């Protein structure tokens, strides 16, 4: 039996803190579908204020947050959204914008830093004069930080330029900001400035912030009115949801300041992994809390084998390819856990027998 577990699969694996549990127990609640839950209203208002938008809406998940946002901006079936070929919305959200909304994805290649070339974005916008044969472009989506590109941050300058392209062509801009606070901390830019150009933003509460459930969508008052109706249509009309929102409010207060520490621990781990023969990490790309580890051909192991071997040591990871692993740091991973994980990696790669058990 493994004595010590260090779960590095994702920043979604955090457990609610005792402060969160106490806040949940004492939360003032009402019927949120009837817009009478004071704790939900407090969270939504607070998040909208932080993000510099008019209003917010709590939803069960980031997938629903992005789906609702896309469908509000693309009300007509046959609309088209421009988004990265490696984006979370395109790859990991069950094709919901197409299957449920009739929205067509038009992908543009993501660069290594998560951006899309500005000229390629503009070139992907359909000519309205040819709408008899083409879908109608209505929306551009960005992702910040970009998960599949190692938690890389989109700069405010880049986001503003994309926003200018959107306005020039009469389009809307949505930011999948699942880890937008990580980007804000890493770049040293206030989060409201970072999303100023966006018409809507989805913000995850259950990743680095460590709340147990939920995301918040922010945007204009009229946008949120439509989003609330869509949330109900999709089955996300929760009743006494203030129980969950109370934990999220604690997360904003207590865990937001811990993101910088998560980033430092990620760099510490990345540097250590890169020194292990047989492993390779592009340490210059580690900007926030996500690390991608490449397994060299000569190492004598594979991603699936290394994951299995490390699990016997109590280290849990996510395999993302035949020779690639993903590691994510969060506030419940200590510096001691980082050092322990490094020692286990070294032993697993070298084939040393596990000692983290009976």
102-160, pLDDT tens digit by residue? Answer: 999 999 999 999 999 999 999 999 999 898 899 999 999 999 999 999 999 999 999 99
CA 172, 67, 59, 115 dihedral sign is negative
For the cut 50, the answer to whether the pLDDT of residue 358 exceeds it is no
- Are 134 and 126 in contact by the 8 Å Cβ rule? The answer is yes
Give pLDDT, residue 3.
83
Confidence of residue 353 (pLDDT cuts 50, 70, 90): low
Fold classified for 18-254: 3.40.640
List the chain domain ranges: 18-254, 258-356
Mean pLDDT of the 54-69 span: 98
Span 234-260, mean pLDDT? 96
The answer to whether the beta carbons of residues 179 and 209 sit under 8 Å apart is: no
Asked if pLDDT for residue 45 goes beyond 70, the answer is yes
pLDDT at residue 2, as a whole number: 72
Rounded CA-CA distance 76/139 in Å is: 12
Rounded CA-CA distance 116/122 in Å is 10
pLDDT in tens, 163-214: 999 999 999 999 999 999 999 999 999 999 999 999 999 999 999 999 999 9
pTM to 2 decimal places: 0.95
How far is CA 337 from each of CA 187, 192, 279, 334, 349, rounded to the nearest angstrom? 26, 33, 19, 5, 18
Closest CA to 39 of 24, 59, 18: 24
CATH 2.30.290.10 for domain 258-356, yes or no, is no
Nearest in space to 259 (alpha carbons), one of 202, 322, 314, 204 = 204
pLDDT score, position 323: 94
Out of 1-10, 55-64, 91-100, 339-348, pick the least confident.
1-10
pLDDT at residue number 350:
86
261-304 residue pLDDT tens: 999 999 999 999 999 999 999 999 999 999 999 999 888 889 99
pLDDT score of 20? 98
Q: Tell me how far apart the alpha carbons of residues 278 and 316 are, in angstroms, rounded to a whole number.
A: 19
Q: Is 76 exposed, middle or buried (0-12, 13-18, 19+ CB in 10 A)?
A: exposed
């Amino acid at each position: 039996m493994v004595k010590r577990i260090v779960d590095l699969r994702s920043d979604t694996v955090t457990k609610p803190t005792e402060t969160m549990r106490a806040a949940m127990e004492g939360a003032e609640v009402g019927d949120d579908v009837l817009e009478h839950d004071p704790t939900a209203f407090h969270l939504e208002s607070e998040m909208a204020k932080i993000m510099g938008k008019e209003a917010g809406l709590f939803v069960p998940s980031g997938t629903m947050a992005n789906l609702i946002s896309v469908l509000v901006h693309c009300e007509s079936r046959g609309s088209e959204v421009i988004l990265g070929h490696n984006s979370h919305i395109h790859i990991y959200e069950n094709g919901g914008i197409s299957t449920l909304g009739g929205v067509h994805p038009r992908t543009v290649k993501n660069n290594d830093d998560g951006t899309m070339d500005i000229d390629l974005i503009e070139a992907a916008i359909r000519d309205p004069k040819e709408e008899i044969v083409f879908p109608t472009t209505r929306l551009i989506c960005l992702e910040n930080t970009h998960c599949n590109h190692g938690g890389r941050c989109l700069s405010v300058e880049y986001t503003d330029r994309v926003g200018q392209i959107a306005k020039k062509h009469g389009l809307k801009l949505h930011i999948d900001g699942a880890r937008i606070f990580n980007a804000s901390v890493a770049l040293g830019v206030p989060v409201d400035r970072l999303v100023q150009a966006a018409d809507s933003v989805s913000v995850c509460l259950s990743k680095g912030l460590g709340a147990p459930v939920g995301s918040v969508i922010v945007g204009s008052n009229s946008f949120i009115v439509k989003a609330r109706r869509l949330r109900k249509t999709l089955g996300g009309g929760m009743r006494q949801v203030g129980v969950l929102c109370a934990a999220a409010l604690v997360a904003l207060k207590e865990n937001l300041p811990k993101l910088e520490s998560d980033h430092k621990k990620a760099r510490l781990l990345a540097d250590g992994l890169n020194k292990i023969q047989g492993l390779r990490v592009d340490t210059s790309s580690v900007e926030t809390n996500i690390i991608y580890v490449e397994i060299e051909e000569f190492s004598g192991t594979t991603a699936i084998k290394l994951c299995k071997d490390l699990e016997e040591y109590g280290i849990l990871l996510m395999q993302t390819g035949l020779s690639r692993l993903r590691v994510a740091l969060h506030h419940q991973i200590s510096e001691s856990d980082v050092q322990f994980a490094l020692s286990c990696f070294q032993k697993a790669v070298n084939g040393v027998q596990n000692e983290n058990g009976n």
